[in-house]
Structure 1
């Protein structure tokens, strides 16, 4: 099951123009630099001790545990090339993103219509305003439920309402996301 946050993060990380540092020491050095030289904040971010961070910086520790290696890679990828990432977010907020998903969609509509939730495979470009809100909420650390609600509004407008040409007032809910791929245009 794909999550919206992971899909957005993968799309943003794909905009990087250079590879991330390879060695654990270089990765640790980069994270400490992003935290303005604070080994304490870096340790809290990675979930390890401040002394462990200092050992990597001094070159005394070279092989991280699998948990620390995964945390190092995840945090470096999130902080890597912030200006490139910000430019990609601005560009996507102006043009929208393409979302390909397989999920269960349900909706409330006028009486007499069929509103039973069912699995659908949809590929649509989200409107720029919805994209901007989705990316801003993701950056602010919104929950998966909040991101799902925003995605439901955007896909409801783009797919079910045909960008405002039909089914006005339709309220779309997205559940059971089976597959989700976000493409920054």
Structure 2
């Protein structure tokens, strides 16, 4: 994923009401409850069915780092789907908060500066932008499309002050140093 996709994933995880399982055995057991067969778990993790059985029995507790990372990622991806969905619905009702440090370039009327510069911006975006962003993510939109939605929201709310100034301003949102998106 890209920066914005990862930030939305972190926002989902902030909504967790319980922590995901920590031990390898508990994680494999959880995945087994989700996908129903050891063959499916083995396919997800890229290991043999026998390895999955060893993890379940507890005879093998420490998988190699790449497998442990895949195991953690698969569990986190499936953990508390209803809690995540509730947080997303709440975000489409209340909006999202975007905190970022990035380069913002401008295209504006003649005589104004169009030199891009790095800014730190924290802005609450209205529910309409939250809904568009979450719908695009659910539809499998790429990072460029997600970045465009966030850029449009920051342009309209932060730079144009909801249409009260700089009518012809166009903002470019590039060189993201960090971005953090929060629901609500």
**TM-score with structure 2 length normalisation?**
0.88
Counterpart-to-counterpart distance in 1, 2:104 and 2:44:
36
SS of equivalent residue, structure 2 residue 137: helix
Instruction: Report the counterpart of residue 151 of structure 1 in structure 2.
Output: 150
Give the length in aligned residue pairs: 183
Are the equivalent residues in 2 in contact too, given 1:13–1:78 (CA < 8 A)? no
Which runs of 5 or more residues in structure 2 are unaligned? Answer: none
Deviation by residue 1:63-105 (Cα, 9 ceiling, x = unmatched)? 1111111121122112111111100000011111111110001
Partner residue in 2 for 1:67: 66
Partner of 1:22: 22
Residue 117 (structure 1) aligns with: 116
- CA positional deviation for 1:169: 4.2
- In structure 2, relative to structure 1, the CA distance for the partners of 1:136 and 1:32 (3 Å cut) is farther
Cα distance in 2, alignment partners of residues 14 and 102 from structure 1: 21
- For 2:33 and 2:70, the matched residues in 1 are separated by 16
Is the CA contact 1:29–1:57 (under 8 Å) kept in the aligned structure 2? yes
Q: Hey, what's the Cα distance between the residues in 1 that align with 2:109 and 2:146?
A: 26
Q: Is the 8 A contact 1:130 1:150 kept in 2?
A: yes
Residues 78-157 of structure 1: matches in 2 within 5 Å? 78-157=77-156
- 1:41/1:127 CA distance change after superposition, 3 Å: farther
Change (3 A) 1:60 1:170: same
Partner of 2:8: 8
Runs of 4+ aligned structure 1 residues displaced above 6 Å come to none
CA shift at 1:43, angstroms?
3.3
Question: 2: distance between equivalents of 1:60 and 1:141?
Answer: 39
Provide structure 1 residue ranges, at least 5 long, that are not aligned to the other structure. Answer: none
Quote the residue 1:55 is aligned against: 54
Aligned partners of 1:74 and 1:183: how far apart in 2?
20
Structure 1 CA distance for aligned equivalents of residues 118 and 154 of structure 2: 14
